[in-house]
Amino acid sequence: MLPRHHDPIVAVATAPGRGAVGIVRVSGRDVSPVIEAVCGQPLKPRQAHYLAFRDAQGEAIDQGLALHFPAPNSYTGEDVLELQAHGGPVVLQLLLARCLAAGAGMGLRLAEPGEFTERAFLNDKIDLAQAEAIADLIEASTEAAARSASRSLAGAFSKEIESLRDRLIELRMLVEATLDFPEEEIDFLEKADARGRLRRVASQLDAVLDRAQQGALLREGIHVVLAGQPNVGKSSLLNALAGAELAIVTPIPGTTRDKVSETIQIEGVPLHVIDTAGLREAGDEVERIGIARSWAAIEAADAVLFLHDLTRLGQPDYEAAERDIERRLPHGVAQHARIVHVYNKADAPEAAEPPSPAEGEQSVRLSAKTGAGLAELRRCLLAIAGWHAAPEGVFIARARHVQALQAARLHLQEAQARLAEADAALDLLAEELRLAHNALGEITGAFSADDLLGEIFSRFCIGK
């Protein structure tokens, strides 16, 4: 631990602003000086005491509840004092200043962002994935994301990772034993079904990766951009998807001059939908800037809904402008999957039939006005995101978790290839297993070289 991790810390633990209750939290090796100065009496562990919080002159700052959680049975693993006062900003700042003054002799300082949870991680109260789940639970934008974060905080994700690590450790021990004792005419790997074990670990990792990817979707969602010429119904579609009048809708071309954003959810997956200015030759400087922003949003989008007006299909000027937009849209095999051609105004009497989609293209016929076809569009967006509903088995995950799992999978695939060789290079196999093990350890922050040594000496008698 760095020297700063030994300092006692204090901070207001509740959100800024006014509320019925506000909490000031103190954590350190020994918080008794602050308890004595602020509360004026000893506190029984884990019991709420209603009392006056005193300033340096003994005058009451406020009255509220004080709780003392002695180490190690606290959130941070250190001594923790929580002062629950009325939630006015002035009251809480007076209480915070009083704690700092009372703890000046012991080096009490203001906590840095996230430092209480950092202490909990450093003191082995939670692992790194659980620490991140706390922030994800607070920031969850949908019910599904909150439930998944709660599962991760409870340790569901960490247990899956620990199970994978344990099975990898067993494999590494077998390989190391074969490397260290080549004179023994015993094929450890064959007898222990190393190929079968490795195959089962890889299969388990694929299942965890799939659920982690779903969890990452719940946390981060996808960015969807509505693009097309003026008056094709982009703003109407945004309003229909959101179920509210968010964007101004008029028959006048160029009504939308700048991006209009809204986050909606489909089956718990957040979709950050952006309505953009109609794509055409700009009529003035303001519209030019809006169109430039539209193209920037399209380039950065996870999915682009390219809207077409069924009532104008076949008109020469309209079709020429469509082709110009089509040429500028991101193309390629990977890009086809994220561009959806949306043929709008299907309710209009003069609506034409949309053309058949080209190979690899996706298209939806709908009416933003009546809502017909919206359900199909929602299913299409979920498919682009890669979502398949399994809410009770999903745990919240971050991009770094997914990347670590993908790295581990690549190393396991390489290990399988090494093991399948007729004259397997066991040192290279051992290295791939080590790298996979390290990648998993990055998720929980639990890996160190001593872990493997401890497992080897506890399970094997080398001299036997």
Among the ranges given (28-32, 81-85, 215-219, 375-379), the one the predictor scored with the smallest mean pLDDT: 215-219
How sure is the predictor about 135, in pLDDT bands with cuts at 50, 70 and 90? confident
Q: In the block, which residue shows the tokens 């350190």?
A: 28
CA 35/CA 43 separation, integer angstroms? 8
Average pLDDT over all residues of the chain: 83
What CATH number belongs to 156-215+400-459?
Answer: 1.20.120.430
pTM of the model: 0.74
**Superfamily of domain covering 221-385:** P-loop containing nucleotide triphosphate hydrolases (3.40.50.300)
Q: Is the pLDDT of residue 397 over 50?
A: yes
Average confidence (pLDDT) over 97-123: 90
**Spans of all domains in the chain:** 3-120, 156-215+400-459, 221-385
Q: So what's the pLDDT on residue 85?
A: 95
Q: So what's the pLDDT on residue 222?
A: 86
Q: Which CATH class is domain 3-120?
A: alpha beta
User: Using an 8 Å Cβ cutoff, are 342 and 306 in contact?
Assistant: yes
Amino acid symbol at 87:
G
Q: Is the pLDDT of residue 245 over 90?
A: no
Q: What are phi and psi of 179, to 5 degrees?
A: -70, -40
